Amino acid sequence: MKHLFANQKKHQKRRAKSQLKNKLKKLKKKKYTPKRATKSLSKKNKDLKKFYKPREYTHSFIQEFVSGQIGLEHNVQDFVDFSSKIIDSNCTRVYLDFRNATRIWPSSVTMLVSLIEWVNLTSSNSVRIGSSDSNTADVNAYLGHCGFYEYVKRDFTPQTGFYPPNEVVKIKQEPSVKNTRIRQQAILNLIKLHSTLSSDDIERVDCKILSEIFVNVTEHGVTANVSGWFVLAQYHKTNGIISICIADNGIGIKNSLMTGFQADNVAKIVKSQNDADYIETALTQYISGALDSSEISPKLLGLQHAVPQGKKRGKGLKYVVDTCKQLKLKLNICSHYGVIALDENGSTHYKHTLNKRCFAGTLYHIIIPARKVQDV
Amino acid sequence: MSREIDIGSEFSDYLVNRNKLQGDGSFTAIEFREKFLQELENEHWWNSNNTITLNFKNVVTLGPSWANEVFAFYTDKYAKDLIKKKIIFKDLSVVKREIIDQEIDSGYVRKL
């Protein structure tokens, strides 16, 4: 009997030793050595190249009619229905019939500009996008005034009397991250001139909303493959709002999280494949697709300190949401297949993941209250 | 002993980028810590009577990411009350005070 027990003890010790060895092996594997970090980074770059790999657009022609108003500012569902038809149309000729359009809001202009860039990035054959003029002079004047015609290099005669120049930050594709401060300042000046927010609240918009959104766009939306991002801001006096659009042609919030170093943990939290769920999680939890959001060799990124996996980063969008709620601002986020719209109280009044893209990249859209001037 | 740094004049009035990967990669929080807060890396400084005064009068924009990387960074090793006692903030607007307090209180690292 004694002999049996002695053998059992020996066997238990051996088992415990091998279990400890296996645990240590797993821990060693988890550690991000420079070699492993380089491997992870190069995998991320491979994912990016795959995402933007040019493909042949195979269908021939699509014509979409716009009647009435189109934009997130007016109706989220209408915007999403329209944009999802044209962004992933896969057509070599896209024709937008604006004859019966009575207003093309800034969010729609931003969507059209990002579509043009998306087509340039992803099509291996020639794609033409055209549109008719609207029967409403206002609409044509606006497309000239906001910079859209300039962007698509269309000849036009600027029409005076419709939109004063100090009521817009024109849409432009920024080819690099150099002008973030200039664009942020331009939006801030527009807000200072026309919004009804107090000076402290304007500072909150600048520091807590605009700063964080620009940081997101430049860090996650602008990559080696995609250098462009866009800004359009417009004061609408009859509606009493300032519509601010900041967008990129990046891989989107979901892909950014799932190609980042927190992917395993994100998958556990989200538990679905829906883009809208990933956007919602990014707005409410501390998760990040940032390169320094995990333990990684400091030498690789020029950082002084590595931090344990999954910690420190991921507060940015939550800051934006909390501040919008505090200041009673509407916030809409479109990121590839997902859309989330938050009302002034911070409640989600629209959340949907579509089968087709509603925005080729990520769009952050904020509505700020402004002085209302009635038409006489 | 205390020294004062006029951040807006001596460094930048636009404090937004955490590191080189954000924004235009300039005037980052990490750069600020390395240039102006070297002594805070030394434990003796925290145990001494020395303080440092950061003057924000010429700072226009302060982003939470920058504040987190500069100030919340020290919460890993030192208590929040000690940080607020040793780093004196001067000419802070209400909003910038909110941001710095929120970042120090929420800390630098948090568990998933």
Interface touch B63/A207, C-beta < 8 Å = yes
Interface touch B95/A265, C-beta < 8 Å = no
ipTM value for the complex:
0.94
Interface touch A302/B20, C-beta < 8 Å = yes
Question: What pLDDT, on a 0 to 100 scale, did the predictor assign at position A293?
Answer: 59
CB contact at 8 A, B29 and B18:
yes
Higher pLDDT, A9 or A217: A217
Interface touch B63/A200, C-beta < 8 Å = no
Q: What is the enclosing helix (H) or strand (E) of B99?
A: helix B94-106
Task: Work out the pLDDT band at A53, boundaries 50, 70, 90.
Answer: confident
Q: Name, in order, each residue with C-beta under 8 angstroms of A359's C-beta and a sequence gap of 6 or more.
A: A83, A87, A111, A114, A247, A334, A335, A336, A339
Q: What is the pLDDT of residues A176-219, one digit of tens each?
A: 888 889 999 999 999 999 999 999 999 999 999 999 999 888 87
Report, as an integer, the average pLDDT of B78-95.
95
Interface check for B106 against chain A (CB to CB < 8 A): the answer is yes
Helix ranges (H only) for chain A are 2-30, 34-51, 76-87, 106-122, 137-145, 148-151, 180-194, 199-204, 211-216, 252-258, 263-270, 275-284, 298-301, 316-327
Picking from A32-36, A43-47, B37-41, which range would have the lowest pLDDT averaged per residue?
Answer: A32-36
Of B16, B25, B93, the CB nearest to A203: B93
Question: What pLDDT, on a 0 to 100 scale, did the predictor assign at position A6?
Answer: 60
Question: What pLDDT, on a 0 to 100 scale, did the predictor assign at position A312?
Answer: 59
Question: What pLDDT, on a 0 to 100 scale, did the predictor assign at position A20?
Answer: 62
Interface touch B16/A211, C-beta < 8 Å = yes
Question: What pLDDT, on a 0 to 100 scale, did the predictor assign at position A28?
Answer: 46
pTM of the model: 0.86
Interface check for B1 against chain A (CB to CB < 8 A): the answer is no
Q: Name, in order, each residue with C-beta under 8 angstroms of B76's C-beta and a sequence gap of 6 or more.
A: B107, B108, B109
Task: Evaluate if residue A305 carries a pLDDT over 50.
Answer: no
Interface check for B22 against chain A (CB to CB < 8 A): the answer is yes
Q: What is the pLDDT of residues B13-72, one digit of tens each?
A: 999 998 887 888 899 999 999 999 999 999 999 999 999 999 999 999 999 999 999 999
Interface check for B93 against chain A (CB to CB < 8 A): the answer is yes
The bridge status of strand A229-236 relative to strand A241-248 is antiparallel
Sign for the pseudo-dihedral over CA of B92, B93, B97, B99: negative
Interface touch B65/A215, C-beta < 8 Å = yes
CB pairs under 8 A between A and B: 92
Question: What pLDDT, on a 0 to 100 scale, did the predictor assign at position A301?
Answer: 47
Q: Which residues of B touch A320 (CB under 8 A)?
A: none
Nearest to A231 by CA among A146, A153, A325, A343: A146
Question: What pLDDT, on a 0 to 100 scale, did the predictor assign at position A234?
Answer: 97
Report, as an integer, the average pLDDT of A6-19.
70
Interface check for B79 against chain A (CB to CB < 8 A): the answer is no
Interface touch A304/B96, C-beta < 8 Å = no
Q: How close is the nearest chain B Cα to the Cα of A154, in Å?
A: 31
Task: Work out the pLDDT band at A308, boundaries 50, 70, 90.
Answer: very low
Task: Work out the pLDDT band at A307, boundaries 50, 70, 90.
Answer: very low
